[in-house]
Amino acid sequence: MKGAIVYITLAFASISYGQEPTYIFEDTVNSDNLLKLSSYNTYSSNRFNNDLIDKFLFGGEITTEIKDKASSKLGKLNAIGGEFEQRIDSYTPSINMFNKERYGLKLSFSDNHYFSANFSTDLFNTAMYGNSPYIGETQDFTFSHAQYLHYQKFSVGFYDESNLSSIQLSYVAGSKGLEFGLSESSLLSRSTLDTIDVDLTGAGFMTDTLGP
């Protein structure tokens, strides 16, 4: 056996990206009411630009040049994160707060996804190049972690009819959560080319129960 090759597929975010299309509709029952539908999606990284992440999202060849460029920027902290929110807001001017006509009732509901991760330089390099360049060396995966949270949010409050600025109180219910992290963890590809030692130590949890 000439070599034992390990490939790990990881998706990493670009330096920054976001979009927030917003649409406002008149209520079909009461023309004074307004409904606003919005979508806010953003992800970011302190290490990568769009070259690498675009290949994961839209397809294409991840060339050695792209890998080398990303690898050269790695440091002790290699973080990625993102937030995705789909939201609906209802504005009702006929229900007044504090007996003042300028303050109407605002109700909101949103579905939210959040993720964050940090990974060691060796973990990225093993994922991109495999373990063959590191025969006889120990790759350190210590302190790599990932977190994902999916939750819904219901909000009620009042808004100023002149500019739609608002104050609301929110109730948050989390429906799905996932988190795991590595402490002292490593991979050793022995120079005999017939053995790989993987030492993983960590902790994590997962839940899919709807609750506050």
Residues 39-54: tens digit of each pLDDT: 888 878 888 777 777 7
What whole-number distance in Å separates Cα of residue 168 and Cα of residue 97?
12
Q: Quick one: which H or E segment has residue 90?
A: strand 79-96
What does the pLDDT read at residue 14?
A: 37
What does the pLDDT read at residue 2?
A: 40
What does the pLDDT read at residue 141?
A: 94
Residue 92: how many CA atoms within 13 Å on its side-chain side? 13
What whole-number distance in Å separates Cα of residue 207 and Cα of residue 178?
7
What does the pLDDT read at residue 107?
A: 96
Residues of the chain with pLDDT under 70: 1-31, 57, 209-212
Q: pLDDT digit string (tens) for 181-198?
A: 999 899 998 888 788 898
What does the pLDDT read at residue 76?
A: 87
